[in-house]
Structure 1
Amino acid sequence: MEVQAGESPSFLNKPTVNPARARLGFCGAVFIMLKSALGAGLLNFPWAFSRAGGVHAALTVEIFSLIFLISGLVILGYSSSISGQSTYQAVVGHLCGPAIGKLCELCFVFNVFMICVAFLVILADQLKKLSLSMYELITGSAGNAMPHHWYTDQRFTLFLVCLFVILPLSVPKDIWIQKYTSALGTVAATYLTVAILVRYYTRTIPEGLPSPSYKTGMGFWASIFSVIPTICFGFQCHECSVAIYSSLENKKLSNWVMISLLSMFICFIIYTLTGVYGYLTFGRNVAADVLMSYSGHDVLMIIARLLFGVSIITIYPIALLLGRLVIQDPLLRHRQIQSSETCIRVALTAVWIIITLFIALFVPDISKVISIIGGISAFFIFVFPGLCLIFAMQSQSISGRLRWILTAWGMVTILCGTFIFGQSIFFAIMQVFHKL
């Protein structure tokens, strides 16, 4: 939808096409945004605060990143309104051309794939700690190591969960169970934040033990850059933002701006409280998965592990579905055999789960995965929205000064995203080979 010559464009009140699909209200959109953003990255935030060099440095980077995070959401909403497309990949392909659209699809599949790996790594951590907690409760031998058997290994338990729970949930075309578990991620995130605050104010440090240390010893800029991938991973909801926008009843961009601001502000509060108090509780010794730093017989944290574990089990199939559709649709078009859809879907699902499980079993901790995912997420938060804005400015009739300002902002976001991708991959490699 272009603004005709002689009209005065209202950038924040531009409606979109296809109003028949509008079914989502303001509160519903905010809730779905929260559900998409509040996830596995929450467990990594206290560790990120430690890597950043403390609370002040981490908060500075987080607030600065929010500008680009919100900007990316607004740009994607505007891009959806002028293109009439309802998925992230379709918007990029429509505005930026088929070549960039294909690149977006490849990045999308890889990003979702690595997110599934992160889910399984976190699930393995929680299974390990829950197994130890159950052993201590049954035997009453708190503090003793659990005897190692093949059937007590969390890797075997993770395999069973993938085979008997995740695979059956992932095979169907439509993940209908999502409507029953849509609030679980937000409940798990909120409970974890409250539990960390409660445990910080009720903790006791045994006599003779030193207080937690809060210095990391890393250089200032290295510390600042090392926390960016975690922030990108934690706040990312941009992949589903186009679908959310296209389902809104009120598609005015001013309404979408308010939805983006409110949802990101709530995420900021939850992530910040978790990061600050998790870091203050354990200092530089906090684990990459903060729940692994707490005692195995802490009832508050046992509940948190259960909530997060169940939440991940129900979210994994949804992430798999998003990636599978991108791969499956071209295969079906190429073969042109509708009856083979079930076989292709089952095969892709099984292969996806097997490969992500294999990788997750050999990943030492979640921080290694998040460093990679954070870099890939920079494409969806910075690079592709920046490209969409630049191409949109070439096709829309907007006043000259505003067009140049928005084009310049698109270039800035692309440069920032490219830099974040490069440095996050660099730090991921350094972590693997030099154990920073």
Structure 2
Amino acid sequence: MELQKLSNGNHHEATGSLDGGIRHEEEMFQQHKTDAGSKGPHFTDFHGKTSFGMSVFNLSNAIMGSGILGLSYAMSNTGIVLFLILLTCIACLSCYSVHLLLRSAGVVGIRAYEQLGLRAFGQPGKILAAVAITLHNIGAMSSYLFIVKYELPLVIQAFLGQTSSSDDWFMNGNYLIIIVTGCIILPLAMMRHLGYLGYTSGFSLTCMVFFLSAVIYKRFNIACPLEVFGNYSMNSTLSEGTCNAKLFTINPETAYTIPILAFAFVCHPEVLPIYTELSNPTKRRMQNIGNVSILGMFIMYFFTAVFGYLTFYENTEAELLHTYNKVDPLDTLILCVRLAVLVAVTLTVPVVLFPIRRALMQLLFPERPFHWLRHIAIAVCLLFCVNLLVILVPNIRDIFGITGATTAPTLIFILPGLFYIRIIPSSQEPINSRPKIQAACFTALGFIFMTMSLTFITLDWITGVKRSHGGH
């Protein structure tokens, strides 16, 4: 379907073109009455079959990322109350961002992020959205496979009862990620519809609930100070407040934590694909899915952060599992938790891959019908590139930092706000109306987050001080 491009002329001409485009596009969709009796634009060639619960599992799995392992460290740099305030604000902003996307999609009947870019800004908008989705999700997939690369050999080593690493091939992380990709990730990524991954997403979330349960349990079984630390052991370097929780903390790491928390809620490329495959799709139904998913992850994030922080206090490391490993490397419960996290991140990779493939399909083959060979070939190429990146690049923290500092604010703040301003007709909401002013402020907030992130990453490079954080 050929979408009408916006004129590059003045605002009045752009608005007229937009209104005409809406009428033209609405003719391309049939109006079907939903069960609630309301009307809305629906695709004529696809009827979603994914239930509300499965959609919640998929979106929650898309939100949940490797950053959950670094939230306790983030709390140690903000304090409990300040962390809760920041987490609440960012969760609410994420819900508002989902609202902007669904409102824009509902006006024109488009349920693809990059197609909204095309509708709002023409081909440059489509390319920008597709590139942002691709870069961000490739970074997320790579971070998950990095966890597999470094954690899976430790799990195998513990199961074999070995105290030191060996040169056996099954202890080589590079071989292991290839095996995991070929045997688990690729078959799941070959599925045609995202809704089918609801079962694996539910199992992945169950693994992370087990991780949270273990964190809570260990809070009451590990004494502070940590006498069992191998190179720590109750020496004179202990400060008086080592085991005191802080409510508010301001240090150079605090400002760096804010965008990290924002990245933890990036799920927006997955919102519209999940909306497309939802049974009985309505804006309110999908908004409820977004709200429930974000609320669930908010609760999980906060409890993981607070109980991890109250276990180790000032000794909390950027990767929480590493801190437990220092207490007792052979702890059976932590070994099971490590295995559960590995399963969770492995099952998340196919969910993250779907929006990349959809973006590439919209960019490279916009008019082509579905074809299995193309569907599988794109998945194989993407996984090959991600595996190559994880194997060949020893440390891609800075690459992830740059892409994360630019693509995450773009996807969660900047583009949803700009889409809303451009797509919603001025006849419905003038440019000076409160909803559009709010969207403009929301977009400006994204630019502020981007500037902060890039500033602190640049300071890291200049000063040579490396800060370790969990990504999304």
TM-score by length of 1: 0.81
> Does 1:407 find its partner at 2:436?
yes
Q: 1:94 aligns with which of 106, 119, 124?
A: 119
| Equivalent position SS for 1:235 | coil
- Using the TM superposition, give the Cα deviation of residue 62 of structure 1 relative to its aligned residue in structure 2, in angstroms: 1.1
Structure 2 CA distance, aligned partners of 1:163 and 1:248?
28
The 10-residue stretch of structure 1 (227-236 or 156-165) with the greater mean CA deviation from structure 2: 156-165
> Does 1:149 find its partner at 2:167?
yes
> Does 1:44 find its partner at 2:40?
no
The 10-residue stretch of structure 1 (152-161 or 76-85) with the greater mean CA deviation from structure 2: 152-161
Against the structure 1 CA distance between its residues 309 and 371, is the aligned structure 2 distance closer, same or farther, given a 3 Å change threshold?
farther
Show the 5 A alignment for 1:393-432: 393=424, 395=425, 397-398=427-428, 400=430, 404-432=433-461
> Does 1:288 find its partner at 2:318?
yes
Structure 2 CA distance, aligned partners of 1:28 and 1:178?
8
- Using the TM superposition, give the Cα deviation of residue 66 of structure 1 relative to its aligned residue in structure 2, in angstroms: 2.1
Q: 1:389 aligns with which of 412, 415, 420?
A: 420
Structure 2 CA distance, aligned partners of 1:298 and 1:46?
20
Partner amino acid, structure 2, of 1:99: P
The 10-residue stretch of structure 1 (18-27 or 405-414) with the greater mean CA deviation from structure 2: 18-27
Structure 2 portions without partners, runs of 5+: 1-21, 24-36, 228-232, 468-472
Show the 5 A alignment for 1:78-89: 78-89=103-114
The 10-residue stretch of structure 1 (369-378 or 406-415) with the greater mean CA deviation from structure 2: 369-378
Partner amino acid, structure 1, of 2:183: V
Structure 1 portions without partners, runs of 5+: 3-12, 140-144
Structure 1 CA distance, aligned partners of 2:304 and 2:182?
33
| Equivalent position SS for 1:17 | strand
- Using the TM superposition, give the Cα deviation of residue 111 of structure 1 relative to its aligned residue in structure 2, in angstroms: 0.6
Show the 5 A alignment for 1:2-401: 15-18=39-42, 21-50=47-76, 52-135=77-160, 138=161, 146-149=164-167, 151=169, 154-161=172-179, 164-165=182-183, 168-169=186-187, 172=190, 174=192, 178=197, 180-205=199-224, 209=234, 212=242, 220=250, 222-295=252-325, 296-327=329-360, 330-331=363-364, 341=374, 345=378, 348-349=381-382, 351-358=384-391, 361-363=394-396, 369=400, 372-373=403-404, 375-393=406-424, 395=425, 397-398=427-428, 400=430
Structure 2 CA distance, aligned partners of 1:221 and 1:413?
26
The 10-residue stretch of structure 1 (207-216 or 24-33) with the greater mean CA deviation from structure 2: 207-216
Partner amino acid, structure 2, of 1:281: T
Against the structure 1 CA distance between its residues 325 and 164, is the aligned structure 2 distance closer, same or farther, given a 3 Å change threshold?
same
Structure 1 CA distance, aligned partners of 2:377 and 2:53?
37
TM-score by length of 2: 0.75
| Equivalent position SS for 2:41 | coil
- Count of equivalent residues: 412
- Using the TM superposition, give the Cα deviation of residue 166 of structure 1 relative to its aligned residue in structure 2, in angstroms: 5.5
User: 1:393-433: CA deviations, max 9, x gaps?
Assistant: 3x2532559x6111111111111111112221332343453
The 10-residue stretch of structure 1 (121-130 or 106-115) with the greater mean CA deviation from structure 2: 121-130
Structure 1 CA distance, aligned partners of 2:253 and 2:298?
20
Partner amino acid, structure 2, of 1:327: L
Partner amino acid, structure 1, of 2:190: P
Do 1:92 and 1:101's aligned partners in 2 also have CA atoms closer than 8 Å? yes
User: 1:222-259: CA deviations, max 9, x gaps?
Assistant: 44421123222221221111122334445544444433
- Using the TM superposition, give the Cα deviation of residue 75 of structure 1 relative to its aligned residue in structure 2, in angstroms: 0.8
Against the structure 1 CA distance between its residues 161 and 175, is the aligned structure 2 distance closer, same or farther, given a 3 Å change threshold?
farther
Partner amino acid, structure 2, of 1:238: H
Do 2:193 and 2:277's aligned partners in 1 also have CA atoms closer than 8 Å? no
Against the structure 1 CA distance between its residues 375 and 341, is the aligned structure 2 distance closer, same or farther, given a 3 Å change threshold?
closer
Against the structure 1 CA distance between its residues 355 and 61, is the aligned structure 2 distance closer, same or farther, given a 3 Å change threshold?
same
Identity between Structure 1 and Structure 2 (%): 18
Q: Identify, as 1 or 2, the structure richer in helix.
A: 1
Do 2:414 and 2:446's aligned partners in 1 also have CA atoms closer than 8 Å? yes
Q: Which residue of structure 2 aligns with residue 8 of structure 1?
A: none
Against the structure 1 CA distance between its residues 344 and 246, is the aligned structure 2 distance closer, same or farther, given a 3 Å change threshold?
closer
Do 2:41 and 2:106's aligned partners in 1 also have CA atoms closer than 8 Å? yes
- Using the TM superposition, give the Cα deviation of residue 27 of structure 1 relative to its aligned residue in structure 2, in angstroms: 3.6
Structure 1 CA distance, aligned partners of 2:131 and 2:411?
12
Partner amino acid, structure 2, of 1:18: H
- Using the TM superposition, give the Cα deviation of residue 165 of structure 1 relative to its aligned residue in structure 2, in angstroms: 2.9
Do 1:46 and 1:286's aligned partners in 2 also have CA atoms closer than 8 Å? yes
Structure 2 CA distance, aligned partners of 1:390 and 1:163?
41
Do 2:130 and 2:359's aligned partners in 1 also have CA atoms closer than 8 Å? yes
Do 1:170 and 1:321's aligned partners in 2 also have CA atoms closer than 8 Å? no
- Using the TM superposition, give the Cα deviation of residue 368 of structure 1 relative to its aligned residue in structure 2, in angstroms: 7.9
The 10-residue stretch of structure 1 (37-46 or 105-114) with the greater mean CA deviation from structure 2: 37-46
- Using the TM superposition, give the Cα deviation of residue 167 of structure 1 relative to its aligned residue in structure 2, in angstroms: 6.8
Structure 2 CA distance, aligned partners of 1:231 and 1:359?
29
Structure 2 CA distance, aligned partners of 1:195 and 1:320?
29
| Equivalent position SS for 1:123 | helix
Partner amino acid, structure 2, of 1:38: M
- Using the TM superposition, give the Cα deviation of residue 213 of structure 1 relative to its aligned residue in structure 2, in angstroms: 5.7
Partner amino acid, structure 1, of 2:332: V
User: 1:349-388: CA deviations, max 9, x gaps?
Assistant: 4642343323664347xx9846742542111110011001
Against the structure 1 CA distance between its residues 153 and 421, is the aligned structure 2 distance closer, same or farther, given a 3 Å change threshold?
farther
| Equivalent position SS for 1:272 | helix
Do 1:389 and 1:406's aligned partners in 2 also have CA atoms closer than 8 Å? no
- Using the TM superposition, give the Cα deviation of residue 105 of structure 1 relative to its aligned residue in structure 2, in angstroms: 0.7
Do 2:185 and 2:347's aligned partners in 1 also have CA atoms closer than 8 Å? no
